[in-house]
Amino acid sequence: MKIVVVGTGYVGLVTGTCFAEVGIDVVCVDIDVNKIENLKKGIIPIYEPGLEEMVHRNFAKGKLNFSTSIAEAIKGAEVAFIAVGTPPGEDGSADLQYVLGVARDIGKNMDDFLVVVTKSTVPVGTALKVKNAVTEELGKRNDSIQFEVASNPEFLKEGAAIEDFLKPDRIVIGVESEKAEEVMRKLYKPFLLNGHPIVFMDVPSAEMTKYAANAMLATKISFMNDIANLCEIMGADANKVRMGIGSDVRIGNKFIYPGVGYGGSCFPKDVKALIRTATEHGYNMRILRSVEEVNEDQKLTMFHKIMKHFNNDITGKTFAVWGLSFKPKTDDMREAPSLVIIEKLLEHGANIVAHDPVAIHETKKILGNKINYTENQELALKNASALLLITEWPEFRALDLPELARTMKEKVVFDGRNIYDANELHSAGFSYYGVGLNKI
Ligand code: NAD
């Protein structure tokens, strides 16, 4: 079976590579010539554990190929995935220009029956727009090649994308016909052997499922941050509250860690897009509006604590930042809370020395030389007035307190992820600020 995946970003590259891994012939297409040339040389554009080796292996076997030409790639394909970006437009709605552009390219170039599948996160009704775009292009060619549309939202997590794709919690597929279901079932068969569930549904429900999933996860995060802020006011400990509620299976212990707010390429834009879709249809998503509001404020709570600790004067002070990416195990800096915190500190005259295991290169593209970067986490601490832990990479978990005391100028730690032990730090003479822990 042969497929084509159009858009070779996080989702497209992982999707294509994982299908190649289970024996499907895959061509990944992108308009970014550099990206495709680099991939052919084995240079991977993103950091994702396990991906590089899997790309090399399948490229060498000839199972995975890269191209800038849909016309070439689509020959003989049974399925075409659309996996391009859907960034937020100015009004927050998902910008569909790339998705529909690809749909038109597919219509211009397809030469046989095809299932056109949207993997990008798209609002309800997009598959219909894709269908119309393909039909229009076929019409211009006076061609009546049969095709089907389907929606197959992606639930992979950056940092664990390969594992998530190969061992999915569930595969959701929206189809309009038995024929499309049959093709998609054949394609996903290798993933189903271990009992991973595949859920077929109508196309609009599949499109909505992706937004509902991300909106629910963002809601859990904002809810817990709201509770953590109240814990600070009331003198309760958000870590204990988290454990207290997480053991209830109806609530669950995932996504209830208070922190610096959610970021990344999905939650912020998908929450915005869902609010926008609802508004366009005369419905007010009241919960999601609050989820967004809480999240925007949460990104600044560490900044406010820093200002309070230093009596509103941080001019000339140096802060060590550990962790820049929006979460561990990725170099993705899209909507990373670290950027908001750092910009705010710079505005108030502070100097930043930052370390991240993989995201320095991406951060430099955004912040350039406004801040300093260090090769290792210890170097960032030199003469720092405080350590700011923003992203909880595993290597940041164990603190060498005597070393911190020797290198830092002042013994202060702001822990944006509650990974350190407040008692241990206090006993060693440090001021320690977590999230939802200290009475303010
Ligand atoms: P990305 O920005 O990393 O990659 C998109 C790619 O599409 C880029 O390489 C770009 O050059 C390419 N592209 C744009 N227009 C093109 C065209 N006309 N023809 C060929 N290629 C084209 O995006 P991403 O993070 O992979 O996200 C893709 C979609 O998947 C989005 O809708 C996103 O919401 C969704 N999604 C992302 C994740 C994630 O963790 N990143 C998870 C689930 C779903």
**What's residue 178's pLDDT?**
97
Q: DSSP H helical segments within 82-202, as ranges? A: 97-109, 126-140, 161-166, 178-192
The pLDDT assigned to 196 comes to 84
Which one of 4, 5, 6, 11 would you pick to mutate in the ligand 1 pocket, going by the greatest count of ligand atoms within 8 A of its CB? 11
- Mean pLDDT in residue range 317-342: 97
Question: Tell me, what's the pLDDT at 194?
Answer: 81
Question: What does the pLDDT average to over 285-310?
Answer: 98
Please report the pLDDT score of residue 440 as a whole number: 54
Does the structure show a pLDDT above 90 at 192?
Answer: no
Mutate to test the pocket of ligand 1, among 84, 95, 121, 169 (most ligand atoms within 8 A of CB): 84
C-alpha torsion 107→112→114→120, nearest 10: -40
In this predicted structure, what is the pLDDT of residue 261? 98
Q: What is the pLDDT of residues 59-106, one digit of tens each?
A: 999 999 999 999 999 999 999 999 999 999 989 999 999 999 999 999
Q: Band of the pLDDT at 193, cuts 50, 70, 90?
A: confident
Classify burial at 68, counting beta carbons within 10 Å of its beta carbon; exposed 0-12, middle 13-18, buried 19 or more: middle
Report pLDDT for 148. Answer: 98
CA-CA distance, 241 to 264, in Å (whole number)?
26
Measured in Å, residue 7 CA sits from the centre of ligand 1 at 6
- Please say whether the beta carbons of 434 and 418 come within 8 A: yes
Distance from the CA of 43 to the center of ligand 1, in angstroms? 18
| pLDDT at res. 439 | 63
Of 225, 208, 222, which Cα lies nearest the Cα of 289?
222
| Cβ of residue 78 lying under 6 Å from some atom of ligand 1 | no
Q: Any idea which of 215-219, 418-422, 434-438 has the lowest mean pLDDT?
A: 434-438
Q: What is the mean pLDDT of residues 275-294?
A: 97
Q: Atom 38, ligand 1: which residue's CA is nearest? A: 11
Of 168, 161, 100, which Cα lies nearest the Cα of 136? Answer: 100
Look over the chain and give the mean of its residue pLDDT values, rounded to a whole number: 97
CATH class of 2-201: alpha beta
Domain boundaries, the chain: 2-201, 211-297, 299-433
Q: Please, which pLDDT band fits residue 436 given cuts at 50, 70 and 90? A: very high
CATH for 211-297, among 1.10.1040.10, 3.20.20.140, 3.30.1120.130, 2.70.70.10?
1.10.1040.10
- Report whether residue 81 contacts ligand 1, using a CB cutoff of 6 Å: no
User: Residue 70's pLDDT is what?
Assistant: 98
Compute the C-alpha angle 69/75/79, nearest 5°. 95
**Would you say the CB of residue 12 lies under 6 angstroms from ligand 1?**
yes
Does residue 162 register a pLDDT over 70?
yes
pLDDT at 266: 95
What amino acid occupies position 315? Answer: T
Record: fold of 299-433? Rossmann fold (3.40.50)
The answer, yes or no, to whether any atom of ligand 1 lies below 6 A from the CB of 339, is: no
266 noted as active-site residue: yes
Give the separation between CA 139 and CA 162, rounded to whole angstroms. Answer: 39
Judge whether 211-297 and 299-433 match in fold.
no
266 lines ligand 1 (CB under 6 A): yes
Q: How far is the CA of 420 from the centre of ligand 1 (A)?
A: 36
Q: What is the pLDDT of residues 389-400, one digit of tens each?
A: 999 999 999 999
